[in-house]
Chains A and B, each alone.
Chain A
Amino acid sequence: MEQPLLEVQELSKHFGGLVALDHVNFDVMSGEILGLIGPNGAGKTVCFNLISGVYKPTSGKILFNGQRTDGAAPHQIAKEGIGRTFQIVKPFASLSVLENVLVAQGISRYDSFPRMWSAWKSKSETTEGLRILERVGLADIADRKAGLLPLGNLRRLEIARALIIGSKLLLLDESFSGLRHEEVTRLEDLIRSIRKDGIAVLLIEHNMRVAMGLSERLVVLDHGGKIAEGSPDEIQQNEKVIEAYLGRKETEDAA
């Protein structure tokens, strides 16, 4: 069998007495879109923060390309080729849109003392940055201050930054929330095109239509544990999911 790109094995995270994630297992294959869904507080963002190194797992393993990454710091994991966005957007507010992207483009320089001293405002870097912004549809506002942008643009800016970092895997944390309908469609197209480039996408999504439409497989979390895994069709039929996530059968019938 093909080696998975990302392997999450028996992953647990406790915050004091609170079990946020309890022995969760799943794999992300290279080039696939895997949806991570579950009700509020199910442990999805905790899972992201573990994969991206913000938290250290209480127990369990995370392997990326067969290498252990659990316990590594976020900046080291970024260097491995995992890019991420944040549920609450985190732009570099006082920098311009282009500069936000340039920060990500410098990734290979930040741990080389000689290389970090060259100038970042160069023609080739700017062209490269604009090309990425073009792709996410922000090129025309490249000089705007990031802090002044509306949410939809900020979400795309985060994806642009993550795209530069995430040469192999993108973690998208509710990138669709707060977007207007046409923005949702554009973003769906963007994510499909990212997948075509061979980049795997792990996405947390609350919008069921989007999650079902985009993902090839879904993993469902509830109260820190994995309750189901499978294709969108299987998940929609799964009794446990319906009960935990979509509400109980009666309410669904009533609706």
Chain B
Amino acid sequence: MSTYIITIGTFIVIQAIAACGLNVIIGYAGQVSLGHAAFVGIGAYSTALLATKAGLSFWAALPCVISISALIGMLLGLPSLRLREDFLAITTIGINFIIEAIFNYIPFFGGALGIGGIPKIILFGIKLKGLAFFFLCLFFLIIVLLVCWWFTRSWAGLACFAMREEESAASSMGISPVRFKLLAFVVGTCMAGLSGALYAHYITFISASDFSFPFSILLLCMIVIGGMGTLWGPLLGALILGALPEIFRPLEDYRILFYTIMLLLMIRFQPGGLLGENMVIRRMLAKVFPGV
């Protein structure tokens, strides 16, 4: 039972890292990306290849994985970020499918068989499993949250917020939209890459379908439910969407129905997300303790 909970907890933390990255792109910079899973996949595949083919340890590979994620994020972001709103969303969906197809059909990436035999992470000579691995993921999540927190407090973050609200007004204030969209996109894809690297080492076997479009949508749901543009929103969203299916396992057949109802309720009653502006929790507290 306890291993079961740790496993679920680990997946939640790994997904929360990716969701934080998506939150930087959508929540902070306002660029709707629906292909975030592809960048998790890029992180996972580059880790897997570096570990199995080049024999690099997780720690040695990590800087490379982050750089690869950043580089590919930049290469794909540069042309796509010139598009606006719905066009960008559609382009990023396309990116997701293309990258999944590349993993699936090119033998170098293991083809349909995926890549197996990815070693566990070793720290101080100890193979990290179970709780130890969970804490490693938690450690990285804390770093990611710190980066997000710093981002929102920095001028770069303020520039992104301004751009999200009114691009033309922001550019009349010295903010280059291309530069800050790309910056947010690269920060977001780095976090996705990190999440993918942890995932690959945890599960030790990856295949293209792990990073398909529905996973991108799951990440999007996490930040919508938790609260787009908030610091803790992605974490709360990952917690809810990671834990609820387990709690309601007997209702598995109705999972998609349940997600749909939840999303519709959110959009109707709490469009900013649970931790977003005018949050329902605060309103309820205000009713119980008026005047506080």
List residues of A whose CB falls within 8 A of some B CB: 52, 54, 73-75, 78-79, 83-84, 86, 90-95, 99, 102-104, 106-111, 115-121, 161-162, 165
CB distance from B271 to the nearest CB of A (A): 12
Contacts of B169 in A (CB 8 A): 86, 90-92, 161
Contacts of A162 in B (CB 8 A): 172
Q: Is the interface of B mostly helix, strand, loop or mixed?
A: helix
Question: How many interface residues does chain B have, given as a range?
Answer: 20 to 34
Contact A118–B174 (Cβ < 8 Å): no
Which of B105-113, B148-156, B259-267 has 4 or more CB atoms under 8 Å from chain A?
B148-156
Check B174 against A165 for contact (C-beta < 8 Å): yes
* Contact residues in B for A103 (Cβ distance below 8 Å): 158-159, 161-162, 170, 173, 175
Give the one of A73, A79, A109 with max B CB within 10 A.
A109
Q: A92-B161, A95-B161 are in contact. Are A54 and B168 (CB under 8 A)?
A: yes
| Contact among A99, A109, A118, A165 with B172 in the assembled complex (CB-CB below 8 Å) | A165
Decide if A52 touches B172 in the complex (CB within 8 Å): yes
Given the contacts A90-B168, A118-B155, A79 and B162 also touching, CB distance less than 8 Å: no
Identify which of residues 137-186 in chain B touch chain A, using a CB-to-CB cut-off of 8 Å.
150, 153-159, 161-162, 165-166, 168-177, 179-180
Q: How far is the CB of B286 from chain A (nearest CB, A)?
A: 18
Given contacts A86-B168, A86-B169, A91-B166, contact A75 B175 (CB under 8 A): yes
Choose among A78, A120, A165 the residue that contacts B154 (Cβ–Cβ < 8 A): A120
Instruction: A86-B169, A116-B155, A162-B172 given; name 5 further pairs at CB < 8 Å.
Output: A74-B171, A86-B168, A91-B166, A106-B174, A120-B157
A170 to B59, CA, bound (A): 54
Q: Which residues of A contact B171 (CB under 8 A)?
A: 73-75, 78
B277 is an interface residue with CB less than 8 A from chain A:
yes
